[in-house]
Structure 1
């Protein structure tokens, strides 16, 4: 073999070796969130409390809900010595917090959408839901969301949510009002400042339980969507690990118990506070 060909082959081997520093086959782990968490012994989760029954707080200020159970289980799967820490943001502040490294992951009942996927990476869906419409119980005539789309009506939404984006797209005549969180939107409707609220179906179902006789949900959904855990953009090692965790956790006894508690019972409603 000619010397120049040998030289080229040696250079190629060195380049390939230099491109793979994970000893696992080519995916760089230099900026891996999983590696950072294992090193720091801490997993920082971004949340936006007020999304019942996924993300809430109890009277002591502790985070509780289906997403909290999920995140705690994920942290435990990384190791018994991993501390799970929660940081609170407005919903539209969660992705920026992830991008700047303030949090390691986002658990916030976040809908997987194309525009968001340009800024973050999503693990496989962990919950399927859709957008619903909530009305005051005094409105006994409205049967469909289309009937609300008339000039003079006001539709309350949580800023930055999928419900907000959807409402601004489908309501051509009614005015869509942004509120910081779902409870604020619901309160505005209760005060007569809005005629309806568009938000995720599970949260509206819980609100209906909590405020029985004061509100009602329209039958059917405006849309169907999947919720996902957001991680740093193109963090492939973390994405692969989280997807593996999802495959083992969803449907497990722990996940089923959490789902039963938060979605099939209402006793916990007295143990949480509205944000």
Structure 2
């Protein structure tokens, strides 16, 4: 499936319930290979949650959720507009661009065809789950980690990217990793993020500040209001690309598999998105998007994570 070379985006605030504007889509973990696997970022897995990444088998069949989108005539997607390389507004063009935006394009075109339309809504990190539960959006494609807590609240596609929590600091900082060098330091993370969950479990003696969006942490770091940021290294790599005065330190200390999130009741949509992802991987579209958006900052990734499916 062809991906758009340019995307004219319409972005609506989360609080706006009625979709008023649409956009026509034109046609057209960073992990080191062989590295040891980090510990999962969720609580200890029990018998009820042995593998949160295992998703529903893919299917191209329509159902209530897909029919609802087709009848409406457009897809409503919750995205970020501040995550460089993932979902951000290009200041030169005013358009939304990034790895997640390309994926939304592919989903919309599969459901609605080449003339697909999308309404984008900017969703703060801690509002991703409520937005789906309240049906303000059909999908969330916003570097959202699949974990045991979240699969009880929303449904996920199979993983489309593998990231990990890491520490971002100014160059020359005494902080060396997610370790005791954080003791007494001011640390920023986004509310509702897996970074916040990790710091609640083990703060390393840091003084923790939370903000609505991860980019707010970078601003506070630049202003000297915090000493370090805890976030996914996929996001942090983009922030370091924006600001060469900051750098990632240490190693990733969690696993963060990103999935497209949907309402728990929309099983047919979950299966449809998994079918899109299956095609996206096999057609080479995933690698094309990776090379375009991420390869410069996240080197050494040979391909997408392999999908996992439930046995039932």
TM tier, smaller: 0.7 to 0.9
Unaligned ranges ≥5, structure 2: 1-60, 298-312
Higher relative contact order (CA 8 A, sep 6+): 2
Q: CA deviation at 1:83?
A: 0.9
**Which residue does 1:259 correspond to in 2?**
290
Residue 193 of structure 2 is aligned to residue 161 of structure 1: yes
What whole-Å deviation, never above 9, does each CA across 1:196-234 have from its counterpart, x for those lacking one?
10011111112222211x112113111112100011113
Structure 1 counterpart of 2:175: 142
Partner of 2:215: 183
Q: What's 2:123 paired with?
A: 89
Q: Quick one: distance in 1 between partners of 2:181 and 2:66?
A: 46
Residue equivalent to 1:204:
236
Measured in 2, the distance between the counterparts of 1:225 and 1:202 equals 10
Tell me how far apart the structure 1 counterparts of residues 121 and 293 of structure 2 sit (CA, whole Å).
21
Give distance in 2, aligned partners of 1:265 and 1:201. Answer: 14
User: Over aligned residue pairs, what C-alpha RMSD do you find?
Assistant: 1.9
Tell me the TM-score normalised to structure 1 length. Answer: 0.80
Does 1:68 pair with 2:92? no
> Which string of whole-angstrom CA distances, capped at 9 and with x for unpartnered residues, describes residues 7-46 of structure 1?
xxxxxxxxxxxxxxxxxxxx994xx321111111210101
8 A Cα contact 2:180 2:205, kept in partner: no
Partner SS for 1:133: strand
Deviation string 1:169-188 (CA, Å, 9 cap, x unpaired) is: 22142111001212210111
Once the two structures are superposed, residues 125-144 of structure 1 have per-residue CA deviations (whole angstroms, 9 ceiling, x without a partner) of 111111010111131x4323
Residue in 1 that maps onto 2:55: none
Q: Which residue of 1 aligns with 2:79?
A: 47
Cα contact 2:166–2:177 (8 A) shared by 1: no
Give the Å deviation of 1:162: 1.0
Matched length: 235
Match of 2:273 among 242, 258, 263: 242
Q: Distance in 2 between matches of 1:172 and 1:209?
A: 27
* Paired position in structure 2 for 1:105: 139
Normalising by structure 2, we get a TM-score of 0.71
Native 8 Å contact 1:47 1:89 kept in 2? yes
Instruction: Work out whether residues 156 and 185 of structure 1, in 8 Å CA contact, stay in contact via their aligned partners in 2.
Output: yes
Alpha-carbon deviations, 1:28-86, whole Å to 9, x = none?
94xx3211111112101011222232111123543211010011011111222431221
SS state of the match for residue 217, structure 1?
Answer: strand
**Deviation by residue 1:141-172 (Cα, 9 ceiling, x = unmatched):** 4323213342x311110111111111222214
Cα distance in 2 for residues equivalent to 1:82 and 1:168: 42
Residue 251 of structure 1 deviates from its aligned partner by 4.4
More helix by share: 1
1:227-238 alignment runs, 5 A limit? 227-238=258-269
